[in-house]
Amino acid sequence: MKQFFLFLSLLYTVGSLSAQTVRLSPEASVSILTCAPGGELYSLFGHSAIRVTDPERGMDLVFNYGTFDFRTEYFYLKYAQGLLPYQLSCVAYEDFIASYLEEKRSVLSQVLALDSAGRQELFDNLLENYRPANRTYLYNFLFDNCSTRIRDILEKSVAPHTIQWNSPEEGKSFWNLLDEYLVRMPWVKWGIHTILGQSGTRRATPYEYMFLPDYLMKGLAAATAEGHPVVAETCPLYEAPEASVRHPWYTSPLFVFTLCTLLLAGGIVLTGSPGLLKGSAFLLFVASGVIGVLLVFLGYFTEHPITAPNLNLIWANPLNLPAAFALFRKTPGRIFRGYLLAYGVVVLIGFPIWFLALPAVPAASLPLLLLFAFFAFRLRLR
């Protein structure tokens, strides 16, 4: 009960008074918490937070830069546009760790090797960030998120002693980094690869790796300040049982798309059915057109950093939507036939280019390129 009232008192202090009035005792410690990836899409890449413990004050708090409010006006639209505000939250450690125990997600603690002045500086900066006027920020998955905010506030707090990030250069692109977490969800991997643009193939720097919590943890483990390690102690707070990440090969997007391509193309050639041709083409053109509209929206009408240019528009073309409805005309016009020819040629050329230039198009989508080329030429010749 005493800790509860002290916690309420601290929250009142944080919200009402100057951060400088909240003083840590010499027994206080500050640690970075790294949480393992979860099974949901929003938790797929793990999480980072800052824990501040002060036994003398009965205080054990976690500052979390990864929270948002579902009650935000136009929530889903802002989320899609990359304009959803995130904020710094402050919760009791026991509440924070309980959620990870329930989800069976491991949590690792890195206690920072800060002296009293350094701990106080970091705590003051956290409290300043936690003020209502400061706690909200515009989230950016790659460049401004729950991990990069911790890296940045730590750099600010250790100043004027510059942190040396000694992480090795691994030659990884943003795609390479994300793929390490997408093995468990092959269809999510295909979707993210389709949404991300060519910019995702850019080689990231070790400093940029730290947008991922695991790489922030590795960065801290190798970091030094004035020749001394930044981390004093590393210990697991909770180790979850190892989860299986195996998926049957026959459920992968590559196999499913290859099988569909062979069955549809083979069925149309063998039966010669105009109904099967037009019906299948209509469904595929509508689906690819809708995906194309989404890619154009994400690439050119949002704040997402690496969604344009997107070469998946080679096959997921928004013009496929009007083309789908033109299929039901008794006499297709020259414009429609010209579009089918141009679309078929572009898609067909895109297949060998993939092997030569390695554009940001998922390998699982290659059968789709052949399938759409088949439909384009088949429809033009009917």
Whether residues 224 and 263 share a domain: the answer is no
State how far the Cα of 114 lies from the Cα of 365, in Å rounded to an integer: 50
Is 354 inside a domain boundary?
Answer: yes
Look at residue 18 in the predicted model and tell me its pLDDT: 46
Is 179 inside a domain boundary?
Answer: no
Query: In Å, how far are 297, 302, 313 from 294, measured between CA atoms?
Result: 5, 11, 10
Whether residues 107 and 128 share a domain: the answer is yes
Is 178 inside a domain boundary?
Answer: no
**Which residues in the chain show pLDDT less than 70?**
1-21, 74-81, 159-161, 245, 357-360, 381-382
Whether residues 311 and 218 share a domain: the answer is no
The set of residues, in sequence order, having a beta carbon less than 8 Å from that of 367 and lying 6+ positions away, is 254, 257, 258, 260, 261
Look at residue 2 in the predicted model and tell me its pLDDT: 42
Is 376 inside a domain boundary?
Answer: yes
Is 190 inside a domain boundary?
Answer: no
Whether residues 102 and 219 share a domain: the answer is yes
Domain that holds residue 356: 249-381
| CATH code of residue 34 | 3.90.1720
Is 110 inside a domain boundary?
Answer: yes
Whether residues 353 and 376 share a domain: the answer is yes
Look at residue 10 in the predicted model and tell me its pLDDT: 53
pTM of the model: 0.88
Whether residues 254 and 351 share a domain: the answer is yes
Whether residues 40 and 156 share a domain: the answer is yes
Whether residues 145 and 265 share a domain: the answer is no
Q: How far from chain centre, in Å, is Cα 364? A: 20
Whether residues 138 and 210 share a domain: the answer is yes
State how far the Cα of 14 lies from the Cα of 30, in Å rounded to an integer: 17
Look at residue 19 in the predicted model and tell me its pLDDT: 47
Whether residues 312 and 285 share a domain: the answer is yes
Output the six-digit token pair for 200.
């995702």
Is 232 inside a domain boundary?
Answer: yes
Whether residues 281 and 228 share a domain: the answer is no
Look at residue 103 in the predicted model and tell me its pLDDT: 92
Q: Which of 14, 31, 30 is nearest to 22 (CA)?
A: 14
Look at residue 1 in the predicted model and tell me its pLDDT: 45
Domain count, the chain: 2
